[in-house]
Structure 1
Amino acid sequence: MKKTKIILTVLGLVGLILLNIGDKTTAADGKLDLLKMASVLQDENILINEWSLYAREKMVNLQDQKEIKSYTEELKQQFPDWEWATNSDKVHSESVGVLQQGSETESIKILSTSTNGQFQTYVIYEVKGQVWDKKVEESIPHKMASRISDIFRGNATIFSCIKGEFNDKMIKTLPLEMEHLLTIFQAEEIEALKEDTFISSTAHSTMFSETVEVGEKNMNVQIGIRNPGMGGKTTLVVGTPIITIEY
């Protein structure tokens, strides 16, 4: 139980991790990783009940408060139907825009911090939903390409994550199910945590191009599976290059 709390705490620090991963991914060349993951999970009869796409960029061209404010106002004008709020002091500034449409929620965040007069600014876009169907599958690539074009000025790092559950009672043990998932995701395990009701794996998959360094190795997919026992449903979360959904 203690190990589980540790791993969940680590995965919960997603925001900090995301801000420290370099901007290496250009906007969605080819098929989105989210669609690849969804296709694999659906082939395994896994019900998708939550998904998210997350993109961020360090805005190196915004050097002072005036430029940051100008960029923020530009986004507000581009997305006038979104609900915007700003919270700032002498050191930190955060502007957030949110749009809720049906089961989907979109958000834009402009985060800025001043250290010795030097500003570091990040812009973050996220779209997430609780329904995965043909309509979403067809609309997401266009929406993501459009948003990235409108919001970002350089290369955006993109993160994909899916949460789901097995439709029927799982016959395999958790380690065997993890081994199977690693196989179908064409992934080689790097690190793992195994308990009676919970198992997680950090791995490298040939399906995804983005990587994150873990020690001397590169990883680009995380998988977590939980079975509470006593007839409870087995759930899982898959993310590339890391998990961005709490579980």
Structure 2
Amino acid sequence: MKKQAHPFIFFMALLFIMIIGTCRYSSGEAAGNESLRPLRTAAHIFQNNGIETKQWTVYTREYSRQIQNDAAFFKKLDELKRENRAFRWALEENHHMKKATGIYKHPFFQEKIQLIMTATKDKPQTYILYEAKGQHWSEKKWEEAEKAIERTSKQLFVKQPTFFTCMNGEFSGNMKGGLFHNALHLLREFQATPVESLREDSLVSLSAYTEQWENILPTNDHPMNIQLALRERLGGKTSIVVGTPIITIEY
């Protein structure tokens, strides 16, 4: 398996590709909450392996072809405010970008909507971004969050969105066999086959492919739809991050 660049650089490059919209999915139209299923799978695997969930995130975005000038931007913003009255809104503007952000803090998770228009040489590029983020994990609370995510995303997007999901947790005991051995064990729990890897003294990062879900991210050599990273922390703790199809937070 190949050794990759530094994980933070790798993360930033992939996230940039994802945000500007050149990231391609090979999943077609996701059916229902299919692309949310990996998050529940990750939660169960964490629980089965004594890993405490610290945070989960759900992210998606859609390019808006109709919004190509300031008037269309503010018209859409007014529409978003009317349809999402529980959200608290803020607007940032400069010569290169307009960004409106709405946040709704539920008792146990948060939803965020962003309308972003950036200036380019040809014409402005506008995206609607959506993120849901929660602390810890509860099956009952997740069912409520999932309903809210589906309700909000159905109202926001023209097409059925494909979600990027991410979960991070912490293992407090001594991991027998080392980071790489345990990373491979967790990938087996996902029924995933490694395609790329990075190994350092206190960090292991693996990209892999599993047939459990349809969303995939094409690469030069092999398709992938899951990333897993383990990092040793002070005090004998190990942090674990799982992302589908990629990790979208710094690790």
TM-score calculated relative to the size of structure 1: 0.89
Specify every segment of 5 or more residues in structure 2 that has no aligned partner in the other structure, as ranges.
none
Please name the residue that 1:22 is paired with: 24
Please name the residue that 2:44 is paired with: 39
Q: Secondary structure at the match of 2:85?
A: coil
TM-score calculated relative to the size of structure 2: 0.88
Please name the residue that 1:10 is paired with: 10
Residue 22 (structure 1) shift: 3.5
**Separation in structure 1 between the aligned mates of residue 74 and residue 30 of structure 2, nearest angstrom:** 25
CA RMSD of aligned residues (A): 2.2
**Separation in structure 1 between the aligned mates of residue 100 and residue 48 of structure 2, nearest angstrom:** 40
Is the contact between residue 56 and residue 135 of structure 2 (CA under 8 Å) also seen in structure 1? yes
The answer on 1:178 being equivalent to 2:183 is yes
The one-letter code of the counterpart of 1:244 is T
The equivalent position to 1:53 in structure 2, one of 41, 55, 58, is: 58
Alignment of 1:201-240 (within 5 A): 201-228=206-233, 231-240=235-244
The answer on 1:63 being equivalent to 2:93 is no
Is the contact between residue 48 and residue 163 of structure 1 (CA under 8 Å) also seen in structure 2? yes
Residue 27 (structure 1) shift: 6.3
The equivalent position to 2:159 in structure 1, one of 135, 154, 160, is: 154
The one-letter code of the counterpart of 1:6 is H
Extract structure 1 runs of 4+ deviating beyond 6 A.
Answer: none
Residue 185 (structure 1) shift: 0.9
Higher share of residues assigned strand: 1
**Mean Cα displacement is larger for which, 8-17 or 186-195?**
8-17
> 1:101–1:110: structure 2 CA closer, same or farther, 3 Å change rule?
same
**Separation in structure 2 between the aligned mates of residue 238 and residue 25 of structure 1, nearest angstrom:** 23
The one-letter code of the counterpart of 2:76 is Y
**Deviations 1:150-199, CA, capped at 9 Å, x for gaps:** 11122423100000112532222111101111111111111101122110
**Deviations 1:43-63, CA, capped at 9 Å, x for gaps:** 222111111011111112323
Please name the residue that 2:112 is paired with: 107
The equivalent position to 1:241 in structure 2, one of 227, 242, 245, is: 245
The answer on 1:189 being equivalent to 2:203 is no
**Separation in structure 2 between the aligned mates of residue 91 and residue 10 of structure 1, nearest angstrom:** 26
The one-letter code of the counterpart of 2:236 is G
**Mean Cα displacement is larger for which, 169-178 or 3-12?**
3-12
Specify every segment of 5 or more residues in structure 1 that has no aligned partner in the other structure, as ranges.
none
**Separation in structure 2 between the aligned mates of residue 179 and residue 15 of structure 1, nearest angstrom:** 24
Is the contact between residue 25 and residue 210 of structure 1 (CA under 8 Å) also seen in structure 2? no
